[in-house]
Amino acid sequence: MTEKEKAAKGELYNANYDSALQQERIVAKEICFHYNQAPPKQDQKRRMLIKKLFRKTGERFVIEPPFYCDYGYHIEIGEGFYANHNCVILDGADVIFGENVFIGPNCGFYTAGHPQNPSQRAQGLEYAYPIRVGDDVWIGGNVTVLPGVNIGAGSIIGAGSVVTGDVPPGVIAAGNPCRVLREITE
């Protein structure tokens, strides 16, 4: 079984020393480099680069540079997606955003985690668990979303939060670790 196949199954895999995965990351980083270097007036060029990089996009989206990811082909964004500056998506597994998702600056979505056993970490082993963000979610600035998290539709994640577990739909959640503060009401 290849390292990529192990990753897809949520098993420990070697991302650091596997030449196939290293090459795939180089391709994605090259595209991100060109995206981040494109002048603001070259919006169409930037959009084309994201469409080439991501598995799926809507027609209406904005990703403010700089933007960084590991592979790109695990990322899906819905219609009306907006990510402010310095978005980082470490996509060793799927990262799927619904429609009308707004992401503040300096946010990170990290599917990768590492074993607690130091000898396994020293071998370069890691795991990757998917992240899913529902429709109409607003994520404040400086938020970190960890592996395996699902954020329910219509929820708001407060600035500076570290999201370590699932967030239900229709709530305001914040903190480190992120926790539900209340339901969203009119």
Distances in Å between the Cα of 161 and the Cα atoms of 7, 47, 146, 164 are 27, 29, 11, 9
CA 144, distance to chain mean position in Å, is: 10
Strands 144-145 and 108-110: parallel
Share of the chain above pLDDT 70, in %: 100
Encoded tokens for 54: 């991501």
Rounded (10°) CA dihedral 10, 129, 151, 88? -160
Pair of tokens at residue 70 = 């590991």
State yes or no: pLDDT of 186 exceeds 90: no
Q: Per-residue pLDDT for 17 more than 90?
A: no
Q: Which domains does the chain have, with CATH numbers?
A: 3-183 (2.160.10.10)
| Residue positions annotated with a catalytic role | 114
What pLDDT, on a 0 to 100 scale, did the predictor assign at position 84? Answer: 98
What's the average model confidence in pLDDT over 157-178?
98
Could you tell me the sign of the dihedral formed by the alpha carbons of 132, 178, 79, 71, in that order? negative
Burial of 104 (0-12, 13-18, 19+ CB in 10 A): buried
pLDDT in tens, 90-139: 999 999 999 999 999 999 999 999 999 999 999 989 999 999 999 999 99
Q: How many residues does the chain have?
A: 186
Q: What is the pLDDT of residues 32-79, one digit of tens each?
A: 999 999 999 999 999 999 999 999 999 999 999 999 999 999 999 999
Burial pattern 73-88, b for ≥16 Cβ within 10 A else e, equals bbbbbbebbbbbebbb
Using 50, 70 and 90 to split pLDDT, how confident is the model at 6? very high
